[in-house]
Chain A
Amino acid sequence: MQIILIRFLSAIAVMLGVSVIVFFFIHFIPGDPVEVILGETARLSDREALREALGLNQPLMTQWLNYMSGLLQGDLGTSLYSRQPVTDIILQRLPDSAELSFAAIIVGVVLAIPLGIWAAMHKGKLWDMATSSFMLIGIAIPNFVFGPILVLIFSLWLGWFPVSGRDGFLSLVLPAITLGTVMAAILARMLRSSLLEVMSEDYIRSAHARGFSPLRVMFRHGLRNAMLPMITLLGLQLGGLLAGAVITETVFDWPGIGRLTVEAIQRRDYPLLQGCILFISAIYVVVNMLTDIIYQQIDPRIRCAA
């Protein structure tokens, strides 16, 4: 219980630090942010109005206090482009992001587990080399290369799926594969090495000696233990999905939070940009915290050591 509390408090401390960096975003802009947003030809009255709307006419400390008190109430400011509250805009896009993330997780896990097991079972043989090089390639190909290749083959040549946009299940397939394959490659690599480590343990030898079938030893004795490090990695991957989706959503014109971030940059909508970055990081931090806690709960060795 104490560990959970400590983990929780440290997550809050990290988020506080993140919010400070995000708060300073607008001050990172070289020159006058108001001029950058409105352009050099803007009227003085417009400039002053925007300066006031952004709170830039106030002392830094007051700006920060206003920002933080807004944050604590779930108020991320108002979008400069659409004039809507940033929180509403993000929540509007959340279902689309969640849908894509969920589909990518399924693709990632469904690909990774059999591949990892397959490679470990055939260690050093041709099958292992084939799956291992697939994993290596999967990690080395960035989303913005893999996505267009999939579009070319499956949308333009074969015509199975739409090129982009969000319109029913079929439009989800290619973005999910793009986002999920990298995850699958990373997870499968980890599973392979962790399985190989576990399979050299004494209790695996004992299980073999007791005459259990190799498959039973692999699944009941090996896989269960090999899955433990996967939980941490899966947590990291899950938390990072929204960030990875920034590029994938741009490739496929998918209306999620990732593309919202890019739109915010293109429109110089800084409050919206701040909101998106803060939101994505918060999800990352929370998922990582939960992963740590779950990991401690299911692995008795760590629970006892801590």
Chain B
Amino acid sequence: MIKVMRTIPLIILVSWLAVVLFEPFLSLDPNAINLEQILGVPGGASWLGEDDLGRPISDRLLTGAQVSLFVAFSVMSVTLVVGTIIGIVSAWLGGWVDQTVMRITDVFLAFPGILLAIALAGLLGPGVGNVVLALSIVGWVGFARLARGQTLLLKNRDHVVAARSLGTSSFKIIIWHLLPLVAAPLIIEATFAVAGLIIAEAGLSFLGLGVQAPSASWGSMIRDGARYLLVAPHLVMIPAIALFSVVMAINLLGDQLRDRLDVRS
């Protein structure tokens, strides 16, 4: 029973990913306005009801999932790679390079939460690309810090010192002797980062800084739906439940991954 329950988060996440990947074949029409079905309830003309313009919520939810997961995974990939390189190189070289990198990360960490991302997204203007850019500028810092800390711990291990004294190039040591050992905590961090990024993207679109109308995003669906909270709460609740299911599934997966890879936080 417990074993079955442990696979639920994975099933939820895989289903969302499958929906996003097969989206082009589903012939969705998220922007089809049907004025006779305004604020339609679930189970009526379409299975999740219609929004304030009579557009099918189910179709908008699925295209919103695409935006959400695209932003989260692309920002995670970019920041993971960039952050890891900066962190490892910084710790490996040490000295003034390391000092400079650390002071720069200090400055980035002085902006609480997604405040800097909000400001950057506002400056860069609307659009999915700008959201990715804004979140990436902010997101690499965590990975850089983690990779640096891990590298510092491993840098003077026997096998690294041995490789060094055999004349192995720094590049080879980093790729073959350091990276495999720092990978586990970074992968776990990346998992939680995806959950955080999905919330961040939704937050930005809630503030009107993400995708632009008429395109759908979970955050903008919640914002637009909030005006009809009393008459049609499903406009808010459906994207909210979708968001919650993905974030919760990823967080639980991260916990499982941490147990399996045996990394202490």
Q: Which of A18, A137, A140, A152 has the most CB of B within 10 A?
A: A140
Asked if B229 and A277 make an inter-chain contact with CB atoms under 8 angstroms apart, the answer reads no
Once the chains bind, are A142 and B110 in contact (CB under 8 Å)? no
Q: A25 near B110 (CB under 8 angstroms)?
A: no
Residue contact A265 to B119, C-beta cutoff 8 Å? yes
- List the one stretch of B19-27, B62-70, B87-95, B244-252 in contact with chain A: B244-252
Q: Is the CB of A156 within 8 A of B107?
A: no
Q: Which of B110, B122, B209, B230 contacts A15 (CB 8 A)?
A: B110
Known contacts A152-B230, A240-B112, A250-B206: A25-B107 contact under CB 8 Å: no
A262 at the interface (CB under 8 A from B): yes
The interface size bin for chain B is 35 or more
B20 vs chain A, min Cβ distance (A): 20
Q: A17-B103, A148-B226, A152-B233 are in contact. Are A285 and B247 (CB under 8 A)?
A: no
Nearest residue, chain A, Cβ from B106: A14
Q: Which of B111, B113, B223, B233 contacts A18 (CB 8 A)?
A: B111
Contact B124 A28 (CB under 8 A): yes
Whether B112 contacts A280 by the Cβ 8 Å rule is: yes
1/0 per residue, CB under 8 A from B, across A273-288: the answer is 1000100110011000
Q: A244: CB under 8 A from chain B?
A: yes
A-B interface pairs (CB < 8 A), number: 122
CB-CB under 8 A from A156, the residues of chain B are 229-230
In chain B, what residue has the closest Cβ to A141? B244
- Chain B residue numbers with a CB within 8 Å of A270 are 123
Q: Which of B107, B113, B209 contacts A14 (CB 8 A)?
A: B107
Interface positions, chain A 130-166, Cβ under 8 Å from B, are 136-137, 139-145, 148-149, 151-152, 156
A242 interface residue, CB < 8 Å from B?
A: yes
Known: A140-B248, A144-B202, A281-B112. A273 touches B103 (CB 8 A): no
Q: How far is the CA of A285 from the CA of B209 in the complex (A)?
A: 26
Interfacial chain A residues near B120, Cβ < 8 Å: 28
Chain B proximity mask over A234-252: 1 for CB below 8 Å, otherwise 0: 0000011011101100110
Q: Is the CB of A145 within 8 A of B123?
A: no
A: interface residue count bin: 35 or more
CB <8 Å contact, B125 and A30? yes
Distance in angstroms from A149 CB to nearest chain B CB is 7
A17 touches B112 (CB 8 A): no
Q: Is the CB of A18 within 8 A of B110?
A: yes
Please give the distance in Å from B259's CB to the nearest CB on chain A. 15
Contacts of A141 in B (CB 8 A): 244
Answer yes or no: B243 CB below 8 A from chain A CBs.
yes
Q: What are 15 A-B interface contacts by the 8 Å CB criterion?
A: A13-B103, A14-B106, A17-B110, A29-B123, A36-B125, A140-B251, A141-B244, A142-B199, A148-B236, A151-B229, A243-B114, A261-B119, A280-B115, A281-B111, A284-B111
Contacts A36-B125, A148-B222 given; 17 further ones with Cβ under 8 A? A13-B103, A14-B110, A25-B119, A25-B123, A28-B124, A29-B125, A144-B223, A148-B229, A156-B229, A243-B111, A243-B113, A261-B118, A265-B118, A265-B119, A277-B116, A277-B119, A280-B112
